[in-house]
Amino acid sequence: MSLAETSAHKTRTGSAAVIWQVVAVLVVLPSLGRGSAACGVAAGSGTIGSVHRASCACGFQVEVTVGGAKRTHLERASFPFYCEQCGLIGPNTAEDPIVCPSCRSAKVRQYGAPPVSIIAGKTGPVLEWASFEAFATENFCPACKHMTLVFGRARRFFS
Ligand SMILES: [Zn+2]
Ligand SMILES: [Zn+2]
């Protein structure tokens, strides 16, 4: 009898615990739901930043940032460009005109468009941000000055 009572008590306690967990999940879920939905939309429309490696057979290698943080991408978002003076740069594409962050020159060229990238026959850009896109191969290397710079897939993302 006392054993039955104990087990019944345990069962009730168990149910209560389960109910509490359900309540906790229901309370937490709406905020999680919003977060992950926003995140999914952001990734799909390119409003989340990523970091890629740009490398060349000549030994040149840098990391490039594509896009911006979720909260600030309208004011600050990056895409690889080529500056005649500074080489491979990551200007703020939210600025108009887009200028080199080092020398402030407006003589900058977007990677993924001629003349610093060969785009004929290319599909499936490896770098994408807003209306900017660039492909993995045949990009102008600022070190050896050949069209041998390669952009890699995203190494990591930030938001
Ligand atoms: Zn420059
Ligand atoms: Zn090179």
pLDDT tens digits along 119-154: 999 999 999 999 999 999 999 999 999 999 999 999
96 CA to centre of ligand 2 in angstroms: 30
Q: How far apart are CA 143 and CA 106, in angstroms?
A: 21
Q: How many angstroms separate the alpha carbon of residue 11 from the centre of ligand 1? A: 71
Higher pLDDT, 72 or 24: 72
Cis peptide bond N-terminal to 97, omega within 30 = yes
Taking CA 151 as the corner, what is the angle to CA 150 and CA 153, rounded to the nearest 5 degrees?
Answer: 135
* Residue numbers of the domain that contains 140: 46-159
Tell me how many degrees the CA angle 106-107-112 measures, rounded to the nearest 5: 110
d(CA 134, CA 81): 10
Percentage of residues in the chain having pLDDT higher than 90: 69
Residues whose Cβ atom is located within 5 A of ion ligand 2? 56, 58, 60, 141, 143-144
Average pLDDT over residues 95-116: 97
Same domain flag for 50 and 38 = no
Ligand 2 centroid–CA 97 distance in Å is 28
- 42-75, pLDDT tens digit by residue? 444 445 899 999 999 999 999 999 999 999 999 9
Identity of the amino acid at 118 = I
CA of residue 138 to ligand 2 center, whole Å: 11
Query: Which H or E run includes 34?
Result: helix 2-45
60 in the same domain as 37 = no
**Closest ligand to the CA of 142:** 2
Q: Which ligand is nearest to the CA of 147?
A: 2
Q: Domains in the chain: how many in total?
A: 2
Do 81 and 158 sit in the same domain of this protein? Answer: yes
CA separation for the pair 155, 51 (Å, rounded):
6
Model pTM above 0.85 = no
How remote is the CA of residue 147 from the centroid of ligand 2, in Å? 8
Q: Same domain, yes or no, for 21 and 53?
A: no
For the cut 60, the answer to whether the pLDDT of residue 95 exceeds it is yes
Task: Give the ligand at the shortest distance from the Cα of 148.
Answer: 2
Question: Is residue 54 domain-shared with residue 37, that is, in the same domain?
Answer: no
- Same domain membership, residue 142 and residue 101: yes
